[in-house]
Amino acid sequence: MKTSFLRLSLPWLLLVLMAALAAAIRYGLIEPAAVGHLCESAITAPAWCQWRQWLVLGFLSYGYGWAALAFAALALAWRNPAAAWLAAAAGLLALQLYCYEAGALALLVGCLRLMRLQAGPAPGDQHRQGERQVQSQP
Could you give phi then psi for residue 80, rounded to 5 degrees?
Answer: -135, 135
Instruction: Please check the confidence at residue 134 and state whether its pLDDT lies above 80.
Output: no
* pTM score of the predicted model: 0.82
pLDDT in tens, 42-70: 777 888 888 999 999 999 999 999 999 99
- C-alpha 43/C-alpha 24 separation (Å) is 26
pLDDT in tens, 73-82: 999 999 999 9
| Mean pLDDT of all residues belonging to the chain | 88
- Between these two residues, 35 and 17, which has the higher pLDDT value? 17
pLDDT in tens, 1-28: 566 888 889 999 999 999 999 999 999 9
Phi-psi domain of 12 (left: phi exceeds 0; alpha: psi -120 through 50; beta: other): alpha
User: What was the pLDDT predicted at 43?
Assistant: 77
pLDDT (mean) for 104-127: 84
User: What was the pLDDT predicted at 105?
Assistant: 98
- C-alpha 87/C-alpha 72 separation (Å) is 5
Give residue 85's identity as a one-letter amino acid code. Answer: W
Burial (CB count within 10 angstroms: exposed 0-12, middle 13-18, buried 19+), residue 64 = buried
pLDDT (mean) for 133-138: 66
- C-alpha 83/C-alpha 114 separation (Å) is 9
Domain ranges of the chain: 2-120
